[in-house]
Amino acid sequence: MIDYPAAPDTPRSHLPFSPCTRVGDLIFVSGQASVDATGQIISDSFEGEMRRSIENLRKVLETAGSDLAHVVQTRNYVRDASDLAQFNAIYPDYFREPYPARTTITNCLTEALRYEIECIAVVKAT
């Protein structure tokens, strides 16, 4: 069975996709960016956008029955390669060793966003 968990405070996009999809014990989270609950982009410094994006990811995961500790893979999109050092410095604030599998792509976002993250996670054991 496929489920599409969402709560009123789950960040949503105006684009046609779900914040996450849950299949069994796997959770697939769509790209989370620096947006508010209505999907409006909140421009900020790279650090501000990265932290807001990961906090949005956390909200989506909690709604689906998981958390950051149960993330098995992340895909990260960094607009400017010059922000990679800061990205690598902030990342351990949210993900601990042994780190999830990770892919990071640079020079790929529009001017509207500095950072975006998506992930695959497992449901927390109850």
Q: Exposed/middle/buried for 13, CB within 10 Å: 0-12, 13-18, 19+? A: middle
Query: Distance between CA atoms of 53 and 36, rounded to whole angstroms?
Result: 10
Span 9-26, pLDDT tens digits? 777 777 788 899 999 999
Query: Distance between CA atoms of 74 and 55, rounded to whole angstroms?
Result: 14
Q: What is the span of the domain harbouring residue 71?
A: 2-122
- Higher-pLDDT residue of 42 and 37 is 42
Q: How many domains does the chain have?
A: 1
pTM: 0.94
Identify the band that residue 59 occupies on the pLDDT scale cut at 50, 70 and 90. Answer: very high
Task: Please report, for the domain that includes residue 104, its CATH number.
Answer: 3.30.1330.40
| Cβ neighbours for 110, distance < 8 A, ≥ 6 positions apart | 79
Res 57: pLDDT: 96
β-bridge mates for residue 23, sequence order: 2, 26
